[in-house]
A and B are shown apart, each in its own frame.
Chain A
Amino acid sequence: MPKIVAATGNEGVANALRQVTPDVCAAYPITPQTELMQRFSSFVSNGQVQTELVLVESEHSAMSACVGASAAGGRVATATSSQGLALMWEILYIASGLRLPIVMPVVNRSLSAPLNIHCDHSDAMGARDSGWIQIWSENAQEAYDNTIQAFRIAEHLDIRLPVMICYDGFIIGHSISRIEYLEDGEVQNFVGEFRQVNPLLDIEHPLSYGPLILPDYYMEYRKAQDEVASKVSKIVLDVADEFKKLSGRKYGLFETYRLDDADIGIVILNSAAGTTKDVIDEFRDRGIKAGLLKPRLYRPFPYVEMGEALKYLKAICVLDRSDAFGGSFGQMFLDISTSLYPYDKKPLLINKIYGLGGRDYLPEHAEHVLNELIEITRSGKVKAYKEYIGVRE
Chain B
Amino acid sequence: MKLKGWKEVTPGAVILEAGNAIEFKTGSWRAFKPVWKKEHCIQCLLCWLYCPDMAIKVKDGRRAEFDYDFCKGCGICALECPGKKGIKAIIMVEEEK
Which A residues are closer than 8 A to B by beta carbons?
97-100, 160, 197-198, 205-211, 213, 216-217, 219-221, 223-224, 227-228
Contact = CB atoms under 8 A, between A and B. Distances in A.
B4 interface: yes
A223 B14 CA distance: 16
Contact of A221 (B3, B13, B17, B18): B13
Interface residues of B, number: 15
Given A220-B4, A221-B6, A223-B6, A213 B13 contact: yes
Contacts of A227: 6
Interface string B4-18: 111101111111111
A206 B12 contact: no
Given A206-B18, A207-B17, A207-B18, A220 B9 contact: yes
Contacts of B17: 207
Contact of B14 (A198, A216, A217, A228): A198
B14 A160 contact: no
A98 B16 contact: no
B7 A224 contact: yes
Contacts of B6: 219-221, 223-224, 227
Interface pairs A-B: 9 shortest CB-CB: A99-B12, A206-B18, A223-B6, A220-B6, A208-B15, A98-B12, A99-B11, A224-B6, A198-B14
Nearest to B18: A206
Given A206-B18, A207-B18, A216 B3 contact: yes
Nearest to B8: A220
B88 to A, nearest CB: 32
Interface in B1-53: 3-7, 9-18
Contacts of B11: 99, 160, 197, 224, 228
A97 B12 contact: yes
A207 B12 CA distance: 12
Contacts of B15: 207-208, 211
B2 to A, nearest CB: 12
A228 B4 CA distance: 18
Q: Which of B6, B7, B10, B17 has the most CB of A within 10 A?
A: B6
A200 to B, nearest CB: 9
Contacts of A213: 13
9 contacts: A99-B11, A160-B12, A198-B14, A208-B15, A211-B15, A220-B4, A221-B6, A224-B7, A224-B9
Contacts of A98: 12-14
A97 B14 contact: no
A212 to B, nearest CB: 9
Given A217-B3, A220-B4, A223-B6, A97 B13 contact: yes
Nearest to A98: B12
A100 B12 CA distance: 8
Contacts of A221: 6, 9, 13
A291 B90 CA distance: 79
A198 B3 contact: no
A189 B7 CA distance: 33
Nearest to B3: A216
A133 B58 CA distance: 50
Contacts of A210: 13
Nearest to A94: B12
A98 to B, nearest CB: 4
A99 B12 CA distance: 5
A198 B16 contact: yes
A211 B12 CA distance: 10
B14 A209 contact: yes
B14 A220 contact: no
Contacts of B5: 220
B41 to A, nearest CB: 34
A224 B6 CA distance: 6
A211 B15 CA distance: 8
B18 to A, nearest CB: 4
